[in-house]
Amino acid sequence: MQSKVLIADDHPLFRAAMRQALSELVGNAILEASSYEEARSCLEQHDDIDLVFLDIRMPGNEGLTGLGEIRSRFPDVLVVMVSAEDAPALISRAMDLGCSGFIPKSTPLPVILEAVQKVLDGDRWLPDDYDAAAGGVQDEQQQAFAEGLAQLTPHQFNVLKMLADGLLNKQIAYELDISESTVKQHVSAVLKKLQVNNRTQAGIIFRQMMDVGQP
């Protein structure tokens, strides 16, 4: 069965190069998106997408937040992060958050093809020069937080994002068109799954996990 791939990147030339390279593997089963909103809409409309190439700095994608949301809303979709940056700490966090591979944009197209095949075969792929030790060892709290994120429902993930943005319960209720009591239930579930004591702590760690710094 042929795999369907989504290339989510705001640079047309990079998308064209990726499309040309991937056509050897998946033929014409390739979709494109130039913003995170387009990528999310595409995933909602096509439930047969197997793999997403997600640019870290594309419009609408705040660091690794897009990765976290896709893993929450579309858990069966494989995500490969694509970036001009390849800091070991960034790669480590992306892998902890559930991506199946991390491809620097400097990677030659033949190597990208090898990476895609490996990911579609069920393995993970990392650059040959990736130094896990240089990525730093996350503390137990961050590791537990990453594991907890994977357990959040899509609604709970949205609530967490809004908590991290500093929104109050009544503001979250308005944005999501739900009652404040429902928001409180979501917040309680989020804190329990993330093993944190309060909403402030949840928001701070979330931002630390998702932040990729300045370009």
Question: Does one domain contain both 106 and 147?
Answer: no
CA distance 64 to 69: 9
Among the candidates 90, 114, 134, a domain finishes at 134
Q: Do 29 and 104 sit in the same domain of this protein?
A: yes
What are the residues facing 6 on neighbouring strands? 31, 52
Kindly state whether residues 124 and 162 are assigned to the same domain: no
Same domain, 20 and 119: yes
Q: Indicate if 183 and 107 belong to the same structural domain.
A: no
Are both 129 and 169 inside the same structural domain? no
Region 77-101: mean pLDDT is 88
User: How high is the pLDDT of residue 57?
Assistant: 87
Last residue of a domain, one of 116, 134, 152: 134
pLDDT above 70 covers a percentage of the chain that reads: 92
**The Cα angle at residue 209 between residues 45 and 78, in degrees rounded to 5:** 35
Domain boundary among 134, 150, 172: 134
User: Which pLDDT score is estimated for 55?
Assistant: 93
Angle in degrees, CA 78, 132, 206, rounded to 5: 60
CATH of the domain at 36: 3.40.50.2300
- Whether 178 and 100 map to the same domain: the answer is no
pLDDT at 132: 61
> Has residue 215 got a pLDDT over 90?
no
- If asked whether residues 168 and 73 sit together in one domain, one would say no
Are 95 and 188 part of one and the same domain? no
CATH number for position 163: 1.10.10.10
Structural domain that includes position 110: 5-134
* Shared domain check, 130 and 148: no
User: What pLDDT digit, counting tens, does each position of 61-87 carry?
Assistant: 888 999 999 999 999 999 999 988 888
Q: Which amino acid is at 10?
A: D
Position 111 in a domain: yes
Instruction: Assess whether pLDDT exceeds 80 at residue 143.
Output: no
| 21 and 127 assigned to the same domain | yes
Read off the pLDDT band of 139 (50, 70, 90): low
> Could you tell me if residue 107 is inside a domain?
yes
Q: What is the mean pLDDT of the chain?
A: 88
133 or 202, higher pLDDT: 202
Query: What are the tens digits of pLDDT across the range 118-131?
Result: 998 999 999 887 76
Query: Quick check: 133 pLDDT over 70?
Result: no
Rounded CA-CA distance 89/190 in Å is 25
Tell me whether residue 112 is in a domain. Answer: yes
- The residue-averaged pLDDT of 44-69 equals 91
Per the domain annotation, does 215 fall within a domain?
no
For the cut 90, the answer to whether the pLDDT of residue 157 exceeds it is yes
Q: Give the span between the Cα atoms of 100 and 194, in whole angstroms.
A: 22
pLDDT (mean) for 147-158: 91
In terms of C-beta distances under 8 Å and separation of at least 24 residues, what long-range contacts does 128-135 make, across chains too?
A: 130/86, 130/88, 130/91, 130/102, 131/88, 132/88, 132/92, 134/88, 134/89, 135/88, 135/89, 135/91, 135/92
- Structural domain total, the chain: 2
The answer to whether residues 48 and 112 belong to one domain is yes
